[in-house]
Structure 1
Amino acid sequence: MGLIRWLYKDFFGDDLHSLISNRRVQRISPLRPVVKMLAASVSLGTGASLGPEGPTVEIGATLGAILGQLFHVSKERYRLLLGAGAAAAVAAGFNAPMAGVFFALEVVIGVSFSTSAASLVLLSAFVSSLISRCAFGGHPAFELPAYKVASHWEWIFYLGLGVIASVVSIAYTQGIKIARDWFQGKIHGVLNLMWVPRALHPALGGVSVGLVALQVPQILGVGYSTVEAILHDGRFPLSVLCLLLVAKIAMTAISLGSGLVGGVFAPAMFIGATLGAIYGNLLELIIPSGWIEIAPPAAYAMVGMAAVLAGSVKAPMTALLLLFEMTQNYEIILPLMVAVGASVWLVEQFNARKSVQGLNLQEMGINMQKQNDMDVLSAVSIAQVMHQSYLTLPAEMPVLEAGLTMLHSKCHTALVLDECEQLEGIVTLDDIRRHVFHESHDSHQACPLHKLRDICTAEIIYASVDEPVTKALERMAIRGLTQLPVVAPDNDRRVVGVLERERIALACNLAVFQSRFQDSLN
């Protein structure tokens, strides 16, 4: 297994960044999907605690990339072919075409997809599902029992399940990140693995999984049979379910961290099913018999699958549609919306507060991360990209006067400073407009002379001048921001500049061009 991993990394690369970022398609070997298939077959066949969807998606995307290089398409169409290949892989693997479409649009292509992108992905998922159904029948990846909402009180319980699923999703994703850092030698003092050759890491991961499987054999492999057993008879002993939950999280993290080839979808659904079954069993123990009618634990296991999957891979629509297509029961939609929505929202709030990211594609077992450009951009400091041309307004300025000043300066956003020139908040024209119209509507007269201090946003996400641009870019992506104030390292209220997304993109393009130009000279 280590030899296969080494061959794959050295001869075919560890990511597909160049398939996305280059203006022209870079040549890749047609043997790449074959090697990936072989590595995944060995990993999953020997019991790695992973799923088949990660390698399947990468194989599908690689086939799309090969078509792109064959027909010499543009960068935009090249990216669409990657998304179409990923959609076809998910659609065929789970027999869920709509989930495949939304996975490609949510995770691979991104939110800025066009109508042509959606149509290409739809056609790709359709053809893939049609061929899969002709070959293997119209059954989904595994059979789910019938679903029914027992009472309207259950919406509260499903909301609670979504909250708990967010915690488990965070533990799952952070466990994978910790395991990767551990095997890469970034965690010192705790059995540092720097002395172990990288080619032996998969073997070390396999040994770890095997030792745990001696006591908990259910964690081996994809685990669909265990999931089906939980779904059709969710009344497992609580001790067994808790053991499965913890062991699956740990062994999936070790499997991915050690370099075994597989994906996180199937383990996330396994974890969600065990969590939902635990939750359902606890509800039956807590709620007196006959007081409130509730669904059996298997129903909560189904909803838990989607909630943990959505929170882990940041793809709520994919998770929702995947469970809907598997059950083919419209009644499950509302419970899924409640639990998935709560799970994803809480995970995003955690990521924003802790300034961390969820799993990226590479950490999901899909090596399509834009790692090369990010490596180049990590060498660019914020001081090189920020600019000092920004509007500042005093906190004591009246709201109406501030609005007129921003309109005259043609600025949508301004930094609010106190009397000591320290950053107090950020205000936008939308903030001023909402305040003015709200006050005018309530009082039926001119807006009172409120100060900017009263309406500005005081909870500010900022970047330090000595940080790399990649850190600021992560914070901006979490909140969907287009600019960040840059502060001094020793004082997070002293503004030294402003960072804009457009300037980051320009810096990235220039840095990548310079790097490739130097490589061509060498």
Structure 2
Amino acid sequence: MTTTVSTSRVLQPQRFKPPSISDRLTSLLNRLQPSSEVLAIASALLIGGGSGLAIVLFKYSIELCQSLTFKTLMGQMLVWGSWTLAFIPILGGLVVGFLRWRFPDFLGQEFSALLSSTRVQKISPLRPAIKLLAAAVSLGTGASLGPEGPSVELGSNIGILLGQSFQVSKDRYRLLIGAGAAAGLAAGFNAPIAGVFFALEVVLGTAFTTPAASLILLSAVISALIAQTLLGIHPAFELPVYQVLSHWEWIYYVGLGLLASVVSTIYTQAIKLVQACFQGEVVGFAWLGKLPKALHPVVGGACIGVIALQLPQILGIGYGVLEAILCGDRFPLSLLGVLLVAKLIATSISLGSGLVGGVFAPAMFLGACLGAIYGNCLLAILPPELSEIAPPPAYAMVGMAAVLAGSVKAPLTSILLLFELTQNYLIVLPLMAAVGVSVWGVELFKSSQAIQGLNLQQMGVNLQPQNEFEVLQQVSIAVVMERSYLALPASMSLLQAGKTMLQNKCHTALVLDETEQLLGIVTLADIRRAVVQTASESHQKNEITQTLNDICTAEVLYAYEDEPVLEALERMGARGLYLLPVVARDNPRKVLGVIEQHRIALASNLAMTEAALQPYLANS
């Protein structure tokens, strides 16, 4: 006999709550059921239009701060002496420090926290306004940073506000962030193509899908059109006409690319070092970590002010000095070298201390100094028969893109940005050569010396849409690697190997020699390709005599168990691999286990879920 138990719940009377404006709009859109194309156009209009207006306001705010401090206030204090210039960055640091103290969530919270759940979490509409004010004050009072970081974040904030208003999914949310980033950079530099590629190359990365292109393109175009309408149709700065004078120059641009990779690596590591100093993680600078974070911008402003007493050229965005170098104004080589070093130090201190800005403009400043030095040295040392080359400003332009590409890991964005600024096709080929060599050199430094590049937040963009990748940087391979795996002897026949892999439903197998040392890797595709090729050549199906030793891939990419999972993911993505063997550091042929793609995805979900549950588990 079975008994059915009926349960009921008592409904409590609830106070009537009128629907909000966003609820009404969402309900209306649901009733209308617009197509995805209509939604993309509507989103592009809102994001592009809002971003364009925000960037225009941002630029006017920077100019207003510069006028109030360096003209009005400095004019009053100049009677005390030129040393009073140092007080302007300190004043900016005080304002930014107050904003960081008063609004810690708006200037300190990473967007990765907003993407840790499957739905959009709320942010305050006041956040972009605080970011705009902090960035305008920082740049307007001399912080050695650029406007592109805040511009990208302002555009992304608009995408976030739109996403949270309509309660979109996380994938759609990321797309709106990418569209906002493209719109912000497009309006900031008057370079819509570069803005699109920045969003696809840096912000979205592997999360990019083809349907996203229309929304990102439209957002960038609309934002750039609004900026051009209100600010005028002109690039960020005027550049001279470039000409190729000799075919020998391709060799020289390769040399410039190598030097740019060195400068890029030093630049990124200096930023990370100074950030670690202000966090108290470097020996001798623990006292900085003990200071209230609101005082860090004041310390940074004081350092910038001291440097500016001798080199005022490093103050602010630096477009004026940059344009002078690119237009061929004569700068002594010694001054260019000092400016390169001083700008690098000033930018690292500005960003590390908590002043608000980006790294694009300083990277271009460093590249212009490097290229001008390089071009002048070529003219001085080359024999007369080889001295028919482009003038130093041309090398300054190419160096600008090469250092930028190496610093922010965005070669396509850098090439297209400079192409849009110069509007000269002749510069593209030398540009591609130098940028390609620069990025290759940076990657070489990273692989040989365990040097890591900058993430978006370290670039001055408080935006981490790919939260999973940031989490994987904190998880070691030992946590997620599989210690059971399919290993086949190198002497096994091709047919037997294929049968074994089919029985085990295995995509990839390790190939070991007679001493059980790693010899190579074989996949189902390798076996299928070898069988088809052998059968077509012999026209008989019983003459396949190859062994795994004949077809396995001997040049094996591997990982160490103490490395972050993110590094294994990057290696697998570079070659499209499904699996990596995990080996001992003292013997790369001794297999400890394997790491597979599905385990990496699981590791990301586990780590994010653990982080979300941690506050509740600690209290239980």
TM-score (norm 2): 0.76
Tell me the distance in 2 between the aligned counterparts of 1:359 and 1:379. Answer: 15
Cα drift, residue 520 of structure 1:
6.5
Tell me the distance in 2 between the aligned counterparts of 1:238 and 1:350. Answer: 27
Taking a change above 3 Å as real, the CA distance of residues 378 and 92 of structure 1, as seen in their structure-2 partners, is closer
Please tell me whether residue 238 in structure 1 is matched to residue 333 in structure 2: yes
Tell me the distance in 2 between the aligned counterparts of 1:454 and 1:387. Answer: 25
Please tell me whether residue 463 in structure 1 is matched to residue 463 in structure 2: no
State the partner residue of 2:453.
Answer: 358
State the partner residue of 1:505.
Answer: 601
Taking a change above 3 Å as real, the CA distance of residues 497 and 48 of structure 1, as seen in their structure-2 partners, is same
Cα drift, residue 398 of structure 1:
6.4
Tell me the distance in 1 between the aligned counterparts of 2:274 and 2:572. Answer: 26
Taking a change above 3 Å as real, the CA distance of residues 375 and 267 of structure 1, as seen in their structure-2 partners, is closer
State the partner residue of 1:259.
Answer: 354
Tell me the distance in 2 between the aligned counterparts of 1:280 and 1:235. Answer: 12
Tell me the distance in 1 between the aligned counterparts of 2:255 and 2:166. Answer: 51
Cα drift, residue 137 of structure 1:
1.0
Taking a change above 3 Å as real, the CA distance of residues 51 and 440 of structure 1, as seen in their structure-2 partners, is farther
Q: Which moved more, 1:397-406 or 1:326-335?
A: 397-406
Structure 1 unaligned regions, length at least 5: none
Taking a change above 3 Å as real, the CA distance of residues 372 and 300 of structure 1, as seen in their structure-2 partners, is closer
**What pairs with 1:104-183 in structure 2 (closer than 5 Å)?**
104-183=199-278
Cα drift, residue 293 of structure 1:
1.5
- Secondary structure at 2:580's aligned position in 1? strand
The AA in structure 1 aligned to 2:215 is L
State the partner residue of 2:120.
Answer: 25
**What pairs with 1:340-351 in structure 2 (closer than 5 Å)?**
340-351=435-446
The AA in structure 2 aligned to 1:279 is Y
Question: Percent of pairs identical after alignment?
Answer: 63
State the partner residue of 2:509.
Answer: 414
Check conservation: 1:462, 1:486, Cα contact below 8 A: yes
Cα drift, residue 455 of structure 1:
5.7
Taking a change above 3 Å as real, the CA distance of residues 100 and 377 of structure 1, as seen in their structure-2 partners, is closer
Check conservation: 1:235, 1:277, Cα contact below 8 A: no
Please tell me whether residue 45 in structure 1 is matched to residue 113 in structure 2: no
The AA in structure 2 aligned to 1:362 is Q
Q: Give the count of matched residue pairs.
A: 521
- Secondary structure at 1:214's aligned position in 2? helix
Taking a change above 3 Å as real, the CA distance of residues 435 and 315 of structure 1, as seen in their structure-2 partners, is farther
The AA in structure 2 aligned to 1:413 is T
Structure 2 unaligned regions, length at least 5: 1-95
**Corresponding residue to 2:518 among 400, 423, 429:** 423
Q: Which moved more, 1:30-39 or 1:377-386?
A: 377-386
- Secondary structure at 1:363's aligned position in 2? helix
Please tell me whether residue 320 in structure 1 is matched to residue 415 in structure 2: yes
Q: Which moved more, 1:111-120 or 1:174-183?
A: 111-120
Taking a change above 3 Å as real, the CA distance of residues 374 and 309 of structure 1, as seen in their structure-2 partners, is closer
Cα drift, residue 463 of structure 1:
2.4
Cα drift, residue 196 of structure 1:
2.8
Q: Deviations over 1:137-193 (max 9, x none)?
A: 110111111111111111111122112111111111111111111211111246753
**Corresponding residue to 1:288 among 354, 362, 383:** 383
**Corresponding residue to 2:290 among 195, 198, 206:** 195
Q: Deviations over 1:354-379 (max 9, x none)?
A: 34431110010001126976776677
- Secondary structure at 1:110's aligned position in 2? helix
Tell me the distance in 2 between the aligned counterparts of 1:90 and 1:328. Answer: 17
Cα drift, residue 454 of structure 1:
8.8
**What pairs with 1:322-401 in structure 2 (closer than 5 Å)?**
322-369=417-464, 382-395=477-490
Cα drift, residue 112 of structure 1:
4.0
Q: Deviations over 1:211-245 (max 9, x none)?
A: 11212211111100011000011542111111111
Please tell me whether residue 516 in structure 1 is matched to residue 612 in structure 2: yes
The AA in structure 2 aligned to 1:452 is N
Taking a change above 3 Å as real, the CA distance of residues 438 and 139 of structure 1, as seen in their structure-2 partners, is farther
State the partner residue of 1:452.
Answer: 549
Taking a change above 3 Å as real, the CA distance of residues 291 and 24 of structure 1, as seen in their structure-2 partners, is closer
Q: Deviations over 1:454-509 (max 9, x none)?
A: 96334543121x55645645665677654332345776543232112221212322
Q: Which moved more, 1:283-292 or 1:272-281?
A: 283-292
* Aligned Cα root-mean-square deviation (Å): 3.2
Cα drift, residue 407 of structure 1:
6.1
The AA in structure 2 aligned to 1:38 is L
**What pairs with 1:40-119 in structure 2 (closer than 5 Å)?**
40-119=135-214
Tell me the distance in 1 between the aligned counterparts of 2:475 and 2:254. Answer: 43
Q: Which moved more, 1:336-345 or 1:94-103?
A: 336-345
Tell me the distance in 2 between the aligned counterparts of 1:436 and 1:340. Answer: 42
Tell me the distance in 2 between the aligned counterparts of 1:407 and 1:400. Answer: 11
The AA in structure 1 aligned to 2:379 is E
TM-score (norm 1): 0.90
Q: Which moved more, 1:432-441 or 1:246-255?
A: 432-441
The AA in structure 2 aligned to 1:422 is Q
Tell me the distance in 1 between the aligned counterparts of 2:535 and 2:159. Answer: 56
Cα drift, residue 28 of structure 1:
0.3
Q: Which moved more, 1:105-114 or 1:479-488?
A: 479-488
Taking a change above 3 Å as real, the CA distance of residues 404 and 371 of structure 1, as seen in their structure-2 partners, is closer
Tell me the distance in 2 between the aligned counterparts of 1:75 and 1:224. Answer: 38
Tell me the distance in 1 between the aligned counterparts of 2:152 and 2:299. Answer: 26
Taking a change above 3 Å as real, the CA distance of residues 272 and 479 of structure 1, as seen in their structure-2 partners, is farther
Taking a change above 3 Å as real, the CA distance of residues 456 and 401 of structure 1, as seen in their structure-2 partners, is farther
Q: Which moved more, 1:432-441 or 1:447-456?
A: 432-441
**What pairs with 1:459-498 in structure 2 (closer than 5 Å)?**
460-464=557-561, 469=565, 472-473=568-569, 476=572, 481-487=577-583, 493-498=589-594
Taking a change above 3 Å as real, the CA distance of residues 202 and 398 of structure 1, as seen in their structure-2 partners, is farther
The AA in structure 1 aligned to 2:554 is T
Asked which structure has the greater CA Rg, the reply is 2
Check conservation: 1:91, 1:98, Cα contact below 8 A: yes
State the partner residue of 1:271.
Answer: 366
Cα drift, residue 325 of structure 1:
0.7
